[in-house]
Amino acid sequence: MLQEKMLKNAMKNNYIVPAFNFANFEILRGIIDASIELKSPIILQVSESAMNYFTDDLLSGIIQGIRKIKHPISIHLDHGKSFEVVKRAIKLGFDSVMIDGSILSYSDNVKLTKKVVKYAHSRGIFVEGELGVLSVADDDALKSNNARFTNPEQAKEFVALTGVDSLAVSIGTNHGVNKYIGEAKIHYDILRKIEKEIPNIPIVLHGASLVEPKYVETINSYGGKIEKAIGNLNLLKNAYKTHISKINMDTDFRLAVTASTRKYLSVHPEKYNPRDYGKDNINSVIECAKFRITKICHSQNKVK
C-alpha cells in the first residue's frame, strides 16, 4: 500500500507527507508540478463533493493520467462519510480512503470504520479513520472543546477495534479560514498522549491550512470579503518532529487561486481567456505548495 509506505517512512524520518486537496484543474497541476520539482511524495485528496464536481468518468481519466507520471502520487478519498462513497472511490482507482465517522456516536463510528477496513483491506486499500470532532469555527462543537478533542485512551481502543492504518485526530485545528474562536492553539499535549497510546500508527492532522494573511489581504483588497481569517502559520512549525505524518490542506489552495484570479482580472481587465488567469493560478499554487512542503512538511528530496 503506497500510503502506508509513505506515512511510515515520514514517521520514522521526521517529516510529513503533504496531503493537498484539489478543487479544480489549476490546483491539481500546481500541486503535482511543485511536488515533482521538490522531489516530495504527495497525497492528492478528493472529497465527495469534488468527486461530484469532476464526475466519475472524468475523474477516472484524470487518475489514469496521474498513474503515468513517474512520481509517488497517492490518490486518497477525503472525508468519506458512507460505505457507498468508499466503494465508489475504490472502484474509481483510489489508493486509499478516509472513513470519517467522527460525528457519529463512538459505537457507530467503530462499526462503520470496521466495515470499511474489512472491505478496503481485502482489496489492498489503506484506510484512515477519525476520532474526535473537527468542525467549522462557529459551531457548537467548537464552543465545548473538551467534547470534541480526541481521547487518547479511546484512540487506542478505536485502532484495536477497527484496524485502521492511520488516525485523524482532533487537537485544536478546524477546517476553513477561521480556525479558532478564542485562543489559537494546537494541543500538542493531547497529541503526545495519543502518540504514547498508539506509537505505531501515523497521525493525520486535518484543518492544517496556514491561512496566510497575504492571500486574505489580496482577496479583500480586490473586492473580496473574507472576515475573521485565523490560520495555523506559526503553530505548525514543529509538527514535523511529532507522529503527525500526513497534513491536510485545502483552504490555502482555494485562497491562493482566488487571490490570483481577483488580482489578475483587476490588473488585466482586457483579458477573458481563462487560461491566462489559469496560468497565474497554477504559478500561485506552485508557490503555495512549495512553501508548505519546505517549511511545514520538510518532505523535499525524500523521493529518490
Please list the active-site residues: 78
Nearest CB to ligand G3H, comparing residues 136 and 265:
136
Grid cell 503555495 — which residue?
288
Is 165 among the residues that bind ligand 13P (CB under 6 A)? no
Q: Which of 16, 38, 44, 50 binds ligand G3H (CB under 6 A)?
A: 50
Nearest CB to Zn ion, comparing residues 72 and 176:
176
Q: Using CB under 6 A as the criterion, what x/- string covers residues 219-248 for binding ligand 13P?
A: -----------------------------x
Is 52 among the residues that bind ligand G3H (CB under 6 A)? no
Q: Which of 78, 95, 128, 195 binds ligand 13P (CB under 6 A)?
A: 78
Is 206 among the residues that bind Zn ion (CB under 5 A)? yes
| Range in contact with ligand G3H (rule: CB under 6 A) among 6-14, 47-55, 57-65, 112-120 | 47-55
Is 207 among the residues that bind ligand 13P (CB under 6 A)? yes
Nearest CB to Zn ion, comparing residues 26 and 128:
128
Nearest CB to ligand 13P, comparing residues 157 and 242:
242
Nearest CB to Zn ion, comparing residues 174 and 260:
174
Is 208 among the residues that bind ligand 13P (CB under 6 A)? yes
Is 209 among the residues that bind ligand G3H (CB under 6 A)? no
Q: Which of 21, 162, 245, 260 binds ligand G3H (CB under 6 A)?
A: 21
Is 263 among the residues that bind Zn ion (CB under 5 A)? no
DSSP string over the chain: -HHHHHHHHHHHTT--EEEEE-SSHHHHHHHHHHHHHTT--EEEEEEHHHHHHH-HHHHHHHHHHHHTSSS-EEEEEEEE-SHHHHHHHHHHT-SEEEE--TTS-HHHHHHHHHHHHHHHHTTT-EEEEEES----TTSHHHHSHHHHSPPHHHHHHHHHHH--SEEEE-SS--SSSB--SSS----HHHHHHHHHHSTTSPEEE-S-----HHHHHHHHHTT----S-B--TTTSTTGGGSSEEEEEE-HHHHHHHHHHHHHHHHH-TT---HHHHHHHHHHHHHHHHHHHIIIII--TT---
| Contact footprint for ligand G3H (CB under 6 A) | 21, 47, 49-50, 78-79, 175, 250
